[in-house]
Structure 1
Amino acid sequence: MNPNPQTNPQQASILGFGTALPAHQVPQPDITNLLTSHLQDKPDLARFARRIFNSCGVDNRYTVEPSYTGAAEDCKYLPTGDASGIPTTEERMDTYKREAPPLALEAAQKALKDAGTHPESITHLITVSCTGQYLPGLDVTLISQLGLSPRVNRLPVIFQGCAAGLKAIQMARDVVQGAPGSTVLVVCVELCTLHFQPVMEKEALFAASFFGDASASCVIGHADENSRHYFQLGRGYSVLLPDTTEDMTWEVGNFGFDLYLSPRIPRLLGQYIAPEMERLFEGEELPELWAIHPGGRGIVDSVEEVMSLREDQTRFSREILRTAGNLSSCTILFVLDAMRRDLKAQSSAAQNGVAMAFGPGLTAELMRFEYIAAKVASESEADHVYL
């Protein structure tokens, strides 16, 4: 039994995860046909769409909107004919307000159960979303439906894109380590498909090709002698990459939110990620575990190539992208949850890891972590040994 110098009993840990997907499942070929039917009078753009949709690494997505699961002529978001009836931003927000809370509630309940945490033990609630807004917000709804204390400290993280899930985890880590006795519930919910719009240019196809709907949650606090199979959180930070401000934008439009993704994003991330890893690890050996936000297949490809990773080190990111798509802020929690379940199933010993997520800015959220199978008492009350 060897002590691991990276572990620290005072550090915050992710004690439990919960994820939730909507009822409506849409295979990628179906949504490809839906979009190309919408583009029947733009054959060049339709051909480009098929190429992008077939090569983006997504096989399946989920949506709260049944309009995507029927006949092409009945889809109100991507109509084949008259586009005058497409939903306004107000109508899309009404759908968000109706559909987001039950999905978030499901994920949060699973996370609390997985962590073995009673709702009344939660001292801070961080809610995350960039695909919908209303007040009183999701946090108020969750307090009531989960049975949290009305005095819980509410910290909404809104409109910060795909990087916000990992940002929320790092905020929760800082809360737990700065305020002993705190336990934080993080809840992310994203209904990306509510913002699909008639396509007029190639750039819009990148966003339409891989986003889906989901919710994900986690409980962050201090591990105790009953804790099993958790991620102890290490240092991390957020960084704005230079000269990339216009490469990813997310703005409120009249018919939903307007997303622009530059095709050069994978190359830009590949250019900057290695120096940031050197800064994060300060000359230490790079970890075995890599939780990469799969913002698209090209992003995972770029990180894998630049950091000389094995295919098995990026398989969780690729699998989430393949089976559910890019879930915006929720995605990194899905990746970490899948990784933890696999480590548990393999009866893995402690392993070090790094998590990363990317969003508008361009922003990179980077964080070290360690998988711990179980905490055990040491021979000395002053020492703590983790397995």
Structure 2
Amino acid sequence: MTTSLLPTRPGAPDPDRAGQATSRLPGMARILGIGTAVSDTSYSQTDVLDALDVTDPKIRSLFLNSAIERRYLTLPPQGSDGTRLPEAQGDLLDKHKTLAVDMGARALQACLKDAGADLADVRYLCVVTSTGFLTPGLSALLIRELGMDRHCSRVDIVGMGCNAGLNALNAVSGWATAHPGELAVMVCAEACSAAYAFDSTMRTAVVNSLFGDGAAAIALVGGSADQAAGAEPVRAQQAPRVLKFASCVITDALDAMRYDWDREQNRFSFYLDPHIPYVVGAHAELVTDRLLAGTGLRRSDISHWLVHSGGKKVIDAVMVNLGLTRHDVRHTTGVLRDYGNLSSGSFLFSYERLLAEDVVNPGEYGVLMTMGPGSTIETALIQW
């Protein structure tokens, strides 16, 4: 990884003021509800180190200086002597199926309750995961698990990584816009406990110190907000509009974040290049300015920033390059502290926390940002 991966600084944002151009943007869809769920057991970082009998001081320091206090995990089963038993790749796939279906179902139900809608109202279901592979996919399994309409349109997005939540939101927003008044739901279900490889290397230690289990769901409707089938009209009228998306694939860093086959451990294993926080941070300005181009908005016009909880160094790098404050990313750092990196659904946990604060005012803008393998940064602009 070299500095050649870093972009030149782009020009200043569009000088037009807020609202002049965004008033002409068609609202792709409105966000009606949000719901989240986690697995059953949480552990402190010290708990995880002790459970896995990690004594290496460098690895312990990595865990304990991660800005993470607790994570929800399903650790390997214990043997008769109390040590954690090894899990074959087939066992991990079974774990992924069990956890992802359970968490995904609970997040979906919580989302619909928040939207004032029912399972019968869902016309389109998009499910995102990168922590396991299933055929049929999670969308079909969730439809069966919850007794949803078997004629519900669906799609599964598999393997895109931590950025995938916004890739999927783009597709779901497009479907909702093309089908006014019909309810579309996206579910991100990440059983990160099923994607772990344990050895004594720093490569696996970085991953093992970071990720946690979690699922998040978000409901959208296109057209007039009060047209949503089954949704409560008052809640629908308060829903933010999804205005625009922008992406950036850092092609020179395609291998910097990857999930591939580890021949020595005979399983899939995630890899993070140690330079990736700086590469992502340096490109955050480029893609954010692209998102705001033509809208009449400057970064200073954005009231709410919901950034993926990718890790302490990633968050710091994004803050520095975008000129954000600790307050701007308080939900991002709070989710990292309480859950770790939840992969594709992390930004939705932050969105839920923002709504719980009840500080958003009508007309305010928000930027959603995720980053992951590719290396990729995805962004979305929303307005309440």
TM-score normalised by length of structure 1: 0.84
Q: What does residue range 172-321 of structure 1 map to in structure 2 within 5 Å? A: 172-222=172-222, 223-224=225-226, 225-226=233-234, 227=236, 229-253=238-262, 255-282=266-293, 284-286=297-299, 287-321=302-336
Question: By how many angstroms is 1:194 displaced?
Answer: 2.1
Q: Is the 8 A contact 2:197 2:268 kept in 1?
A: no
In the alignment, structure 1 segments of 5+ residues that lack a partner are 41-45, 77-85, 373-387
Structure 2 letter corresponding to 1:258: S
Correspondence for 2:48 among 20, 31, 35 = 31
Q: How far apart are the structure 1 equivalents of 2:150 and 2:303?
A: 41
Correspondence for 1:50 among 60, 69, 78 = 60
Q: Percent identity?
A: 27
Question: By how many angstroms is 1:289 displaced?
Answer: 0.9
Corresponding residue for residue 368 of structure 1 = 381
Corresponding residue for residue 12 of structure 2 = none
Question: By how many angstroms is 1:22 displaced?
Answer: 1.2
Structure 1 letter corresponding to 2:38: L
Question: By how many angstroms is 1:195 displaced?
Answer: 2.5
Q: How far apart are the structure 2 equivalents of 1:72 and 1:266?
A: 40
Correspondence for 1:359 among 372, 381, 384 = 372
Query: Deviation per CA, 1:88-112, whole angstroms, max 9, x where unpaired?
Result: 1111111222232121111100101
Q: Is the 8 A contact 1:267 1:302 kept in 2?
A: yes
Going from structure 1 to structure 2, the CA distance change for 1:171 and 1:276 (only over 3 Å counts) comes to: same
Q: How far apart are the structure 2 equivalents of 1:139 and 1:53?
A: 34
RMSD, aligned α-carbons:
2.3
Count of residue pairs the alignment pairs up:
350
Structure 2 letter corresponding to 1:268: V
Structure 2 letter corresponding to 1:306: N
Q: Is the 8 A contact 2:39 2:99 kept in 1?
A: no
Going from structure 1 to structure 2, the CA distance change for 1:72 and 1:180 (only over 3 Å counts) comes to: farther
Question: By how many angstroms is 1:67 displaced?
Answer: 3.6
Going from structure 1 to structure 2, the CA distance change for 1:98 and 1:347 (only over 3 Å counts) comes to: closer
Going from structure 1 to structure 2, the CA distance change for 1:347 and 1:234 (only over 3 Å counts) comes to: closer
SS at match of 1:356: strand
Structure 2 letter corresponding to 1:303: V
Corresponding residue for residue 71 of structure 2 = 61
SS at match of 2:320: helix
Q: What does residue range 75-90 of structure 1 map to in structure 2 within 5 Å? A: 75-76=84-85, 86-90=86-90
SS at match of 1:120: helix
Structure 2 letter corresponding to 1:280: L
SS at match of 1:311: coil
Structure 1 letter corresponding to 2:199: V
Q: Is the 8 A contact 1:63 1:193 kept in 2?
A: yes
Q: How far apart are the structure 2 equivalents of 1:156 and 1:146?
A: 17
Does 2:170 match 1:159?
A: no
Going from structure 1 to structure 2, the CA distance change for 1:161 and 1:347 (only over 3 Å counts) comes to: closer
Structure 1 letter corresponding to 2:119: P
275-284 vs 166-175, greater mean Cα deviation: 275-284
Query: Deviation per CA, 1:277-296, whole angstroms, max 9, x where unpaired?
Result: 22111162111211100110
Does 2:30 match 1:13?
A: yes
Query: Deviation per CA, 1:180-225, whole angstroms, max 9, x where unpaired?
Result: 3332111111111222222242222211111000111111113224
Question: By how many angstroms is 1:11 displaced?
Answer: 3.2
211-220 vs 273-282, greater mean Cα deviation: 273-282
Q: How far apart are the structure 1 equivalents of 2:303 and 2:77?
A: 42
Question: By how many angstroms is 1:121 displaced?
Answer: 2.1
Q: What does residue range 70-149 of structure 1 map to in structure 2 within 5 Å? A: 73-76=82-85, 86-149=86-149
TM-score normalised by length of structure 2: 0.85
Structure 1 letter corresponding to 2:239: Y
Query: Deviation per CA, 1:344-380, whole angstroms, max 9, x where unpaired?
Result: 2x3634310111101111011111112x2xxxxxxxx
Corresponding residue for residue 81 of structure 1 = none
Q: How far apart are the structure 2 equivalents of 1:322 and 1:202?
A: 21
Q: Is the 8 A contact 2:143 2:149 kept in 1?
A: yes
Q: How far apart are the structure 1 equivalents of 2:51 and 2:117?
A: 43
SS at match of 2:251: coil
Going from structure 1 to structure 2, the CA distance change for 1:196 and 1:66 (only over 3 Å counts) comes to: closer
Q: Is the 8 A contact 1:34 1:72 kept in 2?
A: no
Q: Is the 8 A contact 2:27 2:243 kept in 1?
A: no
Query: Deviation per CA, 1:49-100, whole angstroms, max 9, x where unpaired?
Result: 12211111100000234748x9994222xxxxxxxxx111111111222232
159-168 vs 199-208, greater mean Cα deviation: 199-208
Query: Deviation per CA, 1:10-30, whole angstroms, max 9, x where unpaired?
Result: 530111011001111111121
Question: By how many angstroms is 1:245 displaced?
Answer: 1.1
Going from structure 1 to structure 2, the CA distance change for 1:332 and 1:71 (only over 3 Å counts) comes to: farther
Structure 2 letter corresponding to 1:272: H
Query: Deviation per CA, 1:127-177, whole angstroms, max 9, x where unpaired?
Result: 111111222232112213334321111110001110111211111111112
